[in-house]
Amino acid sequence: MAQVQNGGLSSPQELFESITAQGEVVRSLKGGKAPKDEIDSAVKLLLALKTNYKAATGQEYKADSPPTNSTPASVGSSRAAEGEEDFVDPWTVQTSNAKGVDYDKLIVRFGSSKIDKELIDRLERVTGHKPHHFLRRGIFFSHRDMNQVLDAYENKKPFYLYTGRGPSSEAMHLGHLIPFIFTKWLQDVFNVPLVIQMTDDEKYLWKDLTLEQAYGYAVENAKDIIACGFDIKKTFIFSDLDYMGMSPGFYKNVVKIQKHVTFNQVKGIFGFTDSDCIGKISFPAIQAAPSFSNSFPQIFKDKKDVQCLIPCAIDQDPYFRMTRDVAPRIGYPKPALLHSTFFPALQGAQTKMSASDPNSSIFLTDSAKQIKNKVNKHAFSGGRDTIEEHRQFGGNCDVDVSFMYLTFFLEDDDKLEQIKQDYTSGALLTGDLKKTLIEILQPLIADHQQRRKEVTDDIVKEFMTPRKLTFDFQ
């Protein structure tokens, strides 16, 4: 899925166009008598865009009065720097807050629903499993229609999982693992099929890569994904460059989606400009297509009504807001979503990790020594300037990257809470906190590297071959 680092609604003109497009979406939903909650979500997004437009131009939005100054600002910088709004789109994540993005505000802006205790308790009742620590700690924090998925599951109706990866480099980093770790847990507790899209076509369009390089990265990244432990009998991993040419069902859905999304809408949602290649403009339909079961006839035969659940980072939501808008118009169920927070860069939670900056990330190829050096040298600290001050006033877990990483990878709730108390009180020093993190990450990555070594080319080929999975969708 998209993870590139530039683009976005950054100029008054682009904001103006996005409001125009979102207005069309609202009118279309109202005209089609869509459910009230969906209309409300679309209206919320429209109002948020108008607020951003006023902040950028100092003027109210008027449909017949485009902005006179349309010089693009640097991506997301103005709003994030002034602290007015976090900037989140499929390519860029920026905030001026050292604690990271304000996810409660993002839920309101995107019109999704918070994953609350009631939903987590229901997940536990339905599955019979203790909720994953990503759910317990709010790492997966937002959803669309998860209760509907649970209703169907309780009524013995099947659903399937879909997630993806945009293969922009040979090596993946820790942040890339988060959706796959959680998706594996979902697959295990619900016992459902999974499709994983490798968007090598997208990376070719956005980055300076050859088609052969993009496909090669897809295969290498697939090895890291397989090393997470997915069941080969329940999982299909596919390269867009490969699969679309051999699957009429998939391509037919891409074309259906393309017919129902206007150029104005796609510019409004994704911030595309007139100078973007047409491949970028048409790509969102390709990321949307796996949301519909008949894109995979080898798994689902001709069934087009199997519900899809998509675990992904919240920055991917614009693709699936578009998908959910199109779905009822082409006769398909809307995909449900579970959204995760962003995995912070070592330098702090203002941005997500970047594969292009080796010191912002801990890579799955890093040695034990590299992990230790990166954490010690680059992990942003919430500690005080001196040991004396730290002992007196304590550290700040809200901005300390080592503590943030522990919330992702230390599974023991009691131990995590004890570390938080000790660091906040000053009993635990920053060096000790970093040492704890290093001791967790080194074996975690070493184990992953060992599992990856066991993933042969033949195993990758089997995962990536279209085939029947061990589910009967008669």
pLDDT tens-place string over residues 105-164: 888 888 999 999 999 999 999 999 999 999 999 999 999 999 999 999 999 998 999 999
- Please check whether residue 132 is in contact with residue 141, taking contact to mean a CB–CB distance below 8 angstroms: no
- Residue 307 tokens read as 């519900």
- In the predicted model, what is the mean pLDDT of the chain? 88
**Around Cβ 410, how many Cβ atoms within 10 Å?**
16
pLDDT score, position 354? 60
- The structural domains of the chain, with segments of one domain joined by +, span 89-346, 368-454
- Please check whether residue 311 is in contact with residue 140, taking contact to mean a CB–CB distance below 8 angstroms: yes
> Where do we find the tokens 């890291």?
224
Topology alike, domains 89-346 and 368-454: no
- Please check whether residue 441 is in contact with residue 449, taking contact to mean a CB–CB distance below 8 angstroms: no
Average pLDDT over residues 233-253: 96
Check whether domain 89-346 has CATH 3.40.50.620, yes or no = yes
Bridging pattern class, strands 140-144 and 336-340: antiparallel
pLDDT tens-place string over residues 189-205: 999 999 999 999 999 99
Q: Which CATH number fits domain 368-454: 1.10.1060.10, 3.60.21.10, 1.10.240.10, 3.30.2350.10?
A: 1.10.240.10
pLDDT tens-place string over residues 345-403: 898 876 655 656 677 889 999 999 999 999 999 999 999 989 999 999 999 999 999 99
> Where do we find the tokens 């993190």?
437
- Please check whether residue 287 is in contact with residue 197, taking contact to mean a CB–CB distance below 8 angstroms: yes
pLDDT score, position 82? 39
69 versus 424: the higher-pLDDT residue is 424
pLDDT score, position 6? 31
pTM for this prediction: 0.81
- Please check whether residue 261 is in contact with residue 326, taking contact to mean a CB–CB distance below 8 angstroms: yes
Kindly provide the b/e burial profile for residues 429-438, where b requires at least 16 CB atoms within 10 angstroms of the residue's own CB: bbeebbebbb
Distance CA(192)–CA(308), nearest Å, equals 10
425 versus 302: the higher-pLDDT residue is 425
Tally of residues, the chain: 474
Range name among 83-87, 133-137, 202-206, 408-412 with the lowest pLDDT average: 83-87
Percent of the chain that is helix, strand, coil (3-state, to 5): 55, 10, 35
Range name among 2-6, 147-151, 389-393, 437-441 with the lowest pLDDT average: 2-6
Residue whose C-alpha is closest to residue 338's, from 296, 308, 299, 293:
308
Helix, strand, or coil here: 412? Answer: coil
Instruction: Tell me the one-letter amino acid at 153.
Output: Y
> Where do we find the tokens 């020093």?
429
